[in-house]
Amino acid sequence: QVQPVESGGGLVQPGGSLRLSCAASGVPLNYYAVGWFRQAPGMGREGVSCISSSNNSTDYADSVKGRFTISRDNAKNMVYLQMNNLKPEDTDVYYCAADEMFRICGLFVYEYDYWGQGTQVTVSS
């Protein structure tokens, strides 16, 4: 079992940057495909980015492509989401999720079994 914990959210101005971190205890995260999702009030969770467990291939939602980068640091047992050129529409609660079964990651909620509690990202002047 893996229990993801997100951190790094906060308030940033449009055009600014944040780096979100996903940590886990007990099990190395490199055993898992890891996805980042976001959710606004009253909306479903949207896949943002993911990184595979097999070959560390990545995928991104069109809305963040070219601005966000997902990566692993296995020595620290963490997965990061570097968010650059942030826009007000990026304001959401961001969730880290982990999956052991799917080695090639996807941006679908059903693929993931283990979820963090979320971290708030607010992009505003």
CB proximity list for 110: less than 8 A, separation 6 or greater: none
- For the chain, list residues with pLDDT below 50: none
- Residue pair 16/67 in contact (Cβ under 8 Å)? The answer is no
Give the model's pLDDT for residue 59. Answer: 98
How high is the mean pLDDT of the chain?
95
Give the model's pLDDT for residue 117. Answer: 96
